[in-house]
Amino acid sequence: MRRSPEAFLRARLLAVYLLSLAAVSGSILAWHPDRALSPLNLLWPPIGLGAAAVAGAAMQDRLSAMLDRHLRTRIRSVAGLAYGATLLVVSIGLLTGSRGAAEEGCALLRGLQAAFLLLAGFGRGSLGILINALALTATSILAGGPGAALSAALHGSLLMFFLAADHAARTLTEFPVETMPRPGPLLLRGAASSGAVLLLLGGFFALLPPAPYAPLQRAGAVVSLPAGQLVGLLTNLGAVALLAAIVFTALLRFGGGGRSGAAEEPAFEVASARRRTEKAGGARYAEPPVERKEWRARIVQLYVKTAEQLSKWGKRRRPWQTPREFARTLAPAGAAADLTELFGRARYGRDELSEADFERAERLSKEILDHHRRRD
């Protein structure tokens, strides 16, 4: 039976969403606490970031397949340089105590967080999202006060949860198993680590509250509120964030969640066949005959060589793509699906393979390569 780590993929997308929401809401709270409960600042982060996260996950495959490898590399390089220059300008303005840089620069970074979520297919997965969230948190720390403490504590704890979900999703996608582990214990372990980091950072900032960066405070760029108003503000923001997390989780669970849904089921079957024991007697799974192993190895080698040649022509398999997801980006669709099915049987299955299977794989490979050679 084919199994999919969709629960871990959904948990990873939820972690990305919550990390972005914490970074954006923390930035608003740090720099504009007097305006944090306005309808716009209260509603656009959970709704806008949620829509961008779901849409970005749904479009990720299409965006990644839209351009060839070399053009995507150039686009990423130019975008990276532009983003680096933007961060440099914003950082210089903030460190020199410019009020305009504090307001306009942080507003720009908040908008870029939604853009990174939406255009994740053009980049390297969640890397841009994580970098911009870190930049937002760093700028919030400069503002000092409860907003800075909240941003730093939430960033550290949610990053731990993301890393736990991401590790499980990547491991189970790249090294599939016949029996998928229960997601509950693994995700609860990640949530426990996240909670421990939150308590640790929260205790640290309770003892040593972050002070505003002096030049910004002198320039009047940092706004402060009385303690009573801040408590009410944090309570309201926490309620909105909790409701947003519940709605987003339900959307992923019942609405498909883009790449995380069952429609994107990874194409793998059995990865641990040689480690399985027979039900009768507990004997180890017998090694296949030499002839069988030879045809299996030759089919796997043929698939790898086909993928390497396609990569030279710009049709590179991305690290997060399973064989079936990669096949959907190739043409002819039927030949790509059949070759992938043969590869899965040779790499993970227990079926007997023969010279006829290898010859069929050769014909399918030639059909795919001839098609892409003519296009290029």
The structural domains of the chain, with segments of one domain joined by +, span 6-264, 274-375
Report the DSSP beta bridge partners of residue 284: 277
User: pLDDT of 21-51, one tens digit each?
Assistant: 999 988 888 888 777 778 887 888 999 999 9
Q: Taking 90 as the threshold, does the pLDDT of residue 351 lie above it?
A: no
Give the model's confidence band at 211: pLDDT under 50 very low, under 70 low, under 90 confident, else very high. confident
Alpha-carbon span 53 to 116, nearest angstrom: 9
Q: Using CA atoms, how far apart are residues 142 and 26, in angstroms rounded to an integer?
A: 12
As a whole number of angstroms, the longest Cα–Cα distance in the chain is: 79
Amino acid letter at 26?
Answer: G
Q: Residues near 334 by Cβ (< 8 Å), separated by ≥ 6?
A: none
Quote the tokens at residue 329.
């980006």
- Is a pLDDT exceeding 60 seen at residue 246? yes
Q: Is the pLDDT of residue 376 over 70?
A: no
Tens of pLDDT, residue by residue over 151-202, are 888 898 999 889 888 888 777 765 555 566 677 787 888 888 888 888 898 8
The helix or strand, by DSSP H or E, that contains position 108, with its residue range, turns out to be helix 106-118
d(CA 269, CA 262): 15
Which residue(s) pair with 277 in the sheet?
284
DSSP structural state of residue 280: T
* Mean pLDDT taken over the chain: 77
Residue 57's pLDDT band (cuts 50, 70, 90): confident
CA distance 166 to 11: 8
Cβ atoms of 149 and 209 closer than 8 Å: yes
Amino acid at site 135: A
| Token pair of 98 as six digits | 């410019």
**CB contact at 8 A, 314 and 307:** no
Nearest-5° Cα angle at 201, 241 to 99: 70
167: left (phi over 0), alpha (psi -120 to 50) or beta: alpha
Please give the Cα distance from 77 to 121 (Å, whole number). 15
Distance of alpha carbon 92 from its chain centroid, rounded? 30
Report whether 251 contacts 328 (CB < 8 A).
no
pLDDT tens by residue, 288-336: 444 545 888 889 889 989 988 888 888 888 776 788 888 888 988 899 9
Radius of gyration (Cα) for the chain, nearest Å? 25
pLDDT at residue 363 is higher than 70: yes
Q: Distance between CA 27 and CA 49 in Å, rounded?
A: 14
Q: What is the DSSP letter of 213?
A: P
**What size, in residues, is the chain?**
376
The predicted structure's pLDDT at residue 266: 33
Put residue 125 in one of left, alpha, beta given phi > 0 → left and psi -120 to 50 → alpha. Answer: left
How far is it, in rounded angstroms, from Cα 340 to Cα 301? 12
Question: Which one, of 307, 371, 300, lies nearest residue 335 by Cα?
Answer: 371
